[in-house]
Amino acid sequence: MRSFPVEVYVYLICSLNNTHINLQDPKTNHSFFNSSSGCFEKVKSKRSSSVSALILSEASAKVACTSGFSECSVFIKGFGKGRSGALKGLVLGGLSINNIYHINSISFNGCRQRKKRRLLIFPFLPLGECLSGLRY
């Protein structure tokens, strides 16, 4: 009799427009379920919602449960609206979550800085003298 592993890796990619989910067997590194919110919601604004992410992750959790998995480790990438809804859907589908990993990319140097401000400096004038009579 073949023994199934208990844990499955769940990869969530939550963008601003859609939510993708990928279920992977940790022993064989074989992906056995790939889907996105576009399979359930055809309208673009509804694809990005947390409700469609909940429906998607609940369906994927049921697929994992029928394959013999009961626990999962979740790897989340992105900052879309479907992050929390997808986690709720995994729990509602029957999987228990062991670990949650955030694999967001971190920018190295941050945003580009402002241009340096250029000031006119007159080193040849004494401190108390007025600049109004000068022409430049």
For residue 92, what is the domain's CATH number?
A: 3.30.420.80
How many folded domains does the chain comprise? 1
- The string over 35-52, giving b where at least 16 C-beta atoms fall within 10 Å of a residue's C-beta and e elsewhere, is bbbbebbeeeeebbbbeb
Q: For residue 113, is it within any domain? A: no
Residue 134 lies in a domain: no
3-state class of 124 per DSSP?
coil
Let me know if residue 33 belongs to a domain.
yes
pLDDT at 131: 56
pLDDT at 81: 86
Q: Does the residue 48 lie in any domain?
A: yes
* 93, part of any domain: yes
* 135 in a structural domain: no
- List the one residue out of 1, 64, 7 whose CA is nearest residue 35: 64
Put the strands of the sheet holding 30-36 in their side by side order.
Answer: 30-36, 19-25, 7-14, 71-78, 96-102
- 56 assigned to some structural domain: yes
Mean pLDDT score, 40-51: 74
Q: What is the pTM of this model?
A: 0.72
The chain-wide mean pLDDT, for the chain, equals 83
Q: Residue 57 domain-assigned?
A: yes
